[in-house]
Chains A and B, each alone.
Chain A
């Protein structure tokens, strides 16, 4: 039993977080969280000041995805809390571990419409993995312990801890428990040997089997296991967009992401396959197109840590519930025991390889010097393979999916579920805090970057030198593409009119701004940015008319791609 020490709720919070190994908090102070902020003066946790609470949440999210430990963000009550809501929802949609701590008005004021009061517990409920609101200071140590466990285990997600101001300031004897019980939470299942065995048989009997690796593969770091299964069974590997880079994209069996803007060869092969080993994916509409077409054609083996994903969007013939890494390990072991090694020359594999090389050579790209493919391939060429990349949301994101090959698994992150513009830059800052030893690049568009560009202040003042790589078409490009494609070129509300000037904007924050208008300039800019010890914005003007192709229109199947004409 620990010795009970009397302290305030705020001090207990910080002490409990230190015990969880928290080294930094991203946040913004306000009236209702000042007692917690005051504790930064007396503890070893670093505070990283953001200019908006939403960015604080995205930074914690980026930190969490890269380090696979919950990132922590702080916000005050009322608008501070509602501002982090988008960040929390983003983390939930992408299963990212996060702890969000909000201040709340004192207990006696709750429900009185007090100044800066918001019912953040009620608002956040559908977008958190769990939410706590301690009503006495003594509850805080156990809540923090449980919160970190819930956020980081099983299918990770955001946990909200909303602390009334008087609960922060009240002094109580504190017990910091080593153990706790959460009765209704069972994040892990035992390895499912029976169903893994069945899955192997199904894959061996299939004529055209394929692996679909989702984001869960990355969350559980099942990279080596995935590669072993693919190589032993000679299975081509496609990924979802969230699973991009679960499998090295320069591997001969890699076909890249499927989906609305998937690689042509990936969508083609996914459309022809007869059996899929789906790993850690929820079969989102953006990945598989129409659900019915997908399900009718395919035998599905579905591995997922979340039992509720089995049968939610697709009916699986063989469900394998549990941590995908654990079950893939079982699969590798069973395959090795059975001494299975498939030939490289099955008609299916030959067809896959031919299709892949056909599309590598024949996908029409933008003819100009500064086409998206050329720009992103240049970035790939110059970045070390361990560099971490985040993206914003829009055309640049999908071009990154198409043309930026992830070589080292788990180095590519994006807001894929909620699709939050403005996520990439603050997430890159969080990622850089987790991995200060590697270059971190936010592949951005001008529209998305505008949403959280004030995080430049954080990057500069907190000395977190990330690179913002802006493909600047001065347009809300993806919306513009839909208006060109589906709305008869009626361009409404998309023109950014070259405002602001991102080079000047970067400089005004004390960051480095470089404009790259040719491949030579781009080459130099990237090299300068990588070796720079200050945050750098590379502004790359591109053709506002360039579309992202291939394109699977919403509500259609992957086989019906719109291709460059």
Chain B
């Protein structure tokens, strides 16, 4: 199963290293990771997405919780969570219509277009990993030159 973990940590140097090292040394996998400071500058929040069966996810949460630098570790229910990832695509322009087609596609997915050049165009998309995957499939026929993703950021809905 795919799991979204939200980890509140003390904002000190070296903690990202320790968290990622834990995944490596315990034979867990990181699917995506994003980190940023919170409203309180003493803390950072990490969102890590990972795969595993229920037992493995439970073990990952416990091992993260055991870390002294982690303040709170939550396994978020994706149905009660807003989770998004920012992705930048650089797409090839071969035909005269391509630019317009890609613009349409980007609009359909709530994306923005940047850096329109003679033979390439950049699309910024903020969406769920599944939506990004669908967009990627649709963009593939044009020719994808480059992709960069931020990893998922997730926040539980109020009252959930």
Contacts and interface: CB of A to CB of B under 8 A. Distances in A.
Given A121-B14, A125-B21, A184 B59 contact: no
B55 A315 contact: yes
A308 B63 contact: yes
Which one of A125, A184, A315 has the highest number of Cβ atoms from chain B below 10 Å of its Cβ?
A184
A183 B17 contact: no
A308 B62 contact: yes
B97 interface: no
B66 A311 contact: no
A310 B62 CA distance: 9
Interface string A126-159: 1001100000000000000000001000000000
Contacts of A306: 66
Interface string B55-86: 10011001101111111000000000000000
Given A183-B10, A184-B10, A184-B71, A311 B21 contact: no
Contacts of A308: 59, 62-63, 65-66
Interface string B112-131: 00000000000000000000
Contacts of B68: 129-130, 150, 182, 184-185
A310 B59 CA distance: 9
A384 interface: no
A290 to B, nearest CB: 17
Interface residues of A, number: 18
A122 B18 CA distance: 9
User: Interface of chain B, helix or strand or loop or mixed?
Assistant: helix
Contact of B69 (A184, A311, A312): A184
Contact of A125 (B9, B17, B66): B17
Contacts of B67: 184
Nearest to A307: B62
Interface string A164-207: 00000000000000000011110000000000000000000000
B69 A122 contact: no
User: Interface of chain A, helix or strand or loop or mixed?
Assistant: loop
A183 B71 contact: yes
A125 B22 CA distance: 9
Given A122-B17, A126-B21, A126-B25, A311 B59 contact: yes
Interface in B34-67: 55, 58-59, 62-63, 65-67
Contacts of A310: 62
A311 B10 contact: no
A312 B67 CA distance: 16
Nearest to A306: B66
A511 to B, nearest CB: 40
Contacts of B63: 308
A311 B18 contact: no
Given A312-B59, A315-B55, A307 B65 contact: yes
Nearest to A130: B68
A183 B65 CA distance: 12
A306 B63 CA distance: 10
Given A307-B65, A311-B55, A184 B70 contact: yes
Contacts of A185: 68
A183 B69 CA distance: 8
A300 B58 CA distance: 18
Which one of B9, B63, B66, B70 has the highest number of Cβ atoms from chain A below 10 Å of its Cβ?
B66
Contacts of A312: 59, 62
B140 to A, nearest CB: 40
Contacts of B10: 183-184
Interface in B70-110: 70-71
Interface string A110-123: 00000000000110
Nearest to A182: B68
A290 B156 CA distance: 40
Nearest to B62: A308
Contacts of B22: 126
Given A125-B21, A184-B68, A184-B71, A311 B58 contact: yes
Given A125-B18, A308-B63, A311-B58, 14 more contacts: A121-B14, A125-B21, A126-B21, A130-B68, A183-B71, A184-B67, A184-B68, A184-B70, A184-B71, A306-B66, A307-B62, A307-B66, A308-B59, A311-B59
Interface of A: 121-122, 125-126, 129-130, 150, 182-185, 306-308, 310-312, 315
Would you list the 5 A-B pairs with minimal beta carbon distance, nearest first? Answer: A308-B62, A126-B25, A185-B68, A308-B66, A184-B71
8 contacts: A125-B18, A125-B21, A183-B71, A184-B70, A184-B71, A185-B68, A306-B66, A308-B65
